[in-house]
Structures are given as structure tokens and as C-alpha cells.
């Protein structure tokens, strides 16, 4: 199977709107009309409850993890081919995150990319992810602002990549760009954080 076909499949997998589907199946509601009106796991947790939100988080992370980990192995193109396996993994992970943010199934209006990004980095850089996630989890637990944790993670992850690896310049550049995309998707949250009107998770 060619690399470009796998890129498309990764995008489509990332595009599956987990929280939206759960909202329709479990409560018969459209998450785009409730809470923050976002179709990500955080809004699912607020509107549908913690168990459903946590389930959505794990599924969204899996959308990034499995394609990033497995697709380069089945692409049929060796490291000396058109694209190395390392770079394939980066591109496939990016495709999955873009799919989550710009889902074709909801007119390109999806989540904010954090959960799927967690899955991508669990495959690419687990040590750096663990350090970043630990700090963000403490921050969210103490402030109850998920958005603040997500924004902090977008800033810290490239730093931890440089500290604990893998020390790949391309991966760091990819992470900075992806972090910028996550921050851009949180631009309304940033405004609410500054104004003191951001919703807390509990």
C-alpha cells in the first residue's frame, strides 16, 4: 500500500468525530449545540459526563497512536525509498491530527487536536510526552482549566524533545508547527482565560 494512500486513511481515521457520535448515540444530542459547542473530548466530558468524556479521549488518542505506529510498517516503502519510515510516521501523525481538527464528516469543523496529538506522541516520543503530560495534568488538577493544560503542553513538548529526545530536528520543527496549530485552535480559550470567563472542567 502506498504512503500517500496511508496518509489519506490516517486523515480519515483522524476525522472520525468520536464525541459527536457518542453524543448522538447516547443522548441524542448534537455537541455542536451544547457546552462550548466543540466536538472534542473536553466538551463531551462536560455535557455527556466524565465516563463518556474519558472514553472519547482514549478513542481520539488511539486515532493518532495506531496509524502513526503501524502505517509506516505496512507502507511497503523502505527507509531508503521515497520517504523514510521516521518521516512517514511524522506525516501520518500530522494527517491524523489535521483530520481530527478539520474533519470531513462535520464540514471541516472538528476538535482541537490535543487528544489525537497525545496519541501521535505516545508513538513518536513517549518520554517527552510523559513529562509534558505529567506537568499539564498537575496544572489542570490545580486550576481546573483543561485549555490551560493544553496550551502549556503545546509549549513544553518541543522543549522536552530537546532535553530527553528523540533529538530529531525535523520532529522538533514538526512539534513546534503542530503546537502552533493547537494554540491557534485555542484562540477563543485564550481570550476567555485572559478575561476570567473560561469554563472549568469540574
**Domain that residue 137 falls in:** 126-202
Task: Tell me which of 124, 148, 175 is where a domain ends.
Answer: 124
pLDDT, one tens digit per residue, over 127-143 is 999 999 999 999 999 99
Co-location of 130 and 85 in the same domain: no
This model's pTM is above 0.95 = no
% of the chain exceeding 90 in pLDDT: 82
Co-location of 14 and 24 in the same domain: yes
What per-residue confidence (pLDDT) applies to 168?
87
Question: Chain-wide mean pLDDT for the chain?
Answer: 92
Co-location of 104 and 142 in the same domain: no
Alpha-carbon gap, residue 6 to 47, rounded angstroms:
34
Assess contact for 110 and 85: CB atoms under 8 A: no
Alpha-carbon gap, residue 72 to 167, rounded angstroms:
20
Amino acid at each position: 500500500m502506498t504512503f500517500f494512500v496511508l496518509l489519506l486513511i490516517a486523515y480519515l481515521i483522524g476525522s472520525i468525530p468520536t464525541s459527536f457520535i457518542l453524543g448522538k448515540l447516547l443522548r441524542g444530542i448534537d455537541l455542536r449545540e451544547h457546552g462550548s459547542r466543540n466536538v472534542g473530548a473536553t466538551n463531551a466530558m462536560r455535557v455527556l459526563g466524565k465516563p463518556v468524556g474519558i472514553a472519547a479521549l482514549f478513542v481520539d488518542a488511539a486515532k493518532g497512536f495506531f496509524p502513526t505506529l503501524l502505517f509506516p510498517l505496512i507502507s511497503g516503502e523502505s527507509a531508503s525509498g521515497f520517504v523514510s519510515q521516521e518521516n512517514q510516521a511524522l506525516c501520518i501523525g500530522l494527517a491524523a491530527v489535521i483530520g481530527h481538527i478539520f474533519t470531513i464528516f462535520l464540514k471541516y469543523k472538528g476538535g482541537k487536536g490535543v487528544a489525537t496529538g497525545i496519541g501521535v506522541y505516545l508513538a513518536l516520543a513517549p518520554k517527552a510526552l510523559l513529562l509534558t503530560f505529567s506537568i499539564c495534568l498537575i496544572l489542570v488538577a490545580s486550576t481546573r482549566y483543561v485549555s490551560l493544560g493544553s496550551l502549556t503542553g503545546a509549549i513544553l513538548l518541543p522543549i522536552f524533545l530537546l532535553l530527553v529526545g528523540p533529538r530529531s530536528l525535523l520532529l522538533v520543527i514538526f512539534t513546534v508547527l503542530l503546537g502552533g496549530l493547537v494554540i491557534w485552535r485555542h484562540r477563543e480559550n485564550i481570550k476567555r482565560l485572559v478575561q476570567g470567563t473560561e469554563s472549568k472542567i469540574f
